[in-house]
Structures are given as structure tokens and as C-alpha cells.
Amino acid sequence: MRNGFPIVICIVGAIADLAVWMWLRSFKVRDKAPASLAHLTREERQRRITIVGWIMFGSAWLFLSGAVLLWWLGNR
């Protein structure tokens, strides 16, 4: 298999994205917001974290599908 390195990179990227997603699931924002986010309520800031978590989850699946696609193309 000549394309082993890109497949490994895709799998490592998927694992990293899933690790960040798991960390963001338990992340709680502070009551005192930074100056750049002072206009948002605590609930709005927490919702942003939730949205970013789901984006990371989707990105992990894209990495995994890319690894499968590269593996399939390499073994045709």
C-alpha cells in the first residue's frame, strides 16, 4: 500500500477530533466572560461550545471516511 501515511494522518486526525469532542462535552463556561464575549449571556456562550463540539464530531467522521476512501483507492 503506497498511501499508508495519508491514511494514518486521517486516523490520527479523527482520534484527535473525537478527543476534543469528548472534552468539550464536559466543558463549562465561566460566569465571568472575557471582554470580547461580554455581550453574550452564559447560556449563549455555552451553546457556542456545544455547536463547536458537534462540528468536531462531524469532522472526525469526515476524517474516518477519508481514511476509508484512501484505503479503498489504494487497494483497487
- Domains of the chain, by residue range, sit at 4-30+37-74
Contacts of 15 (CB under 8 A, 6+ apart): 60
Separation CA 69–CA 64 (nearest Å): 9
Q: pTM, whole model, 2 decimals?
A: 0.84
Q: How many residues does the chain have?
A: 76
Q: Quick one: which of 52, 66, 53, 76 has its CA closest to 11?
A: 66
Question: Over the stretch 11-47, which tens digit does the pLDDT of each residue have?
Answer: 999 999 999 999 999 999 998 988 998 999 999 999 9
Q: In the predicted model, is pLDDT for residue 60 greater than 80?
A: yes
Identify the pLDDT of residue 1. 54
CA atoms within 13 A on the CB side of 13: 17
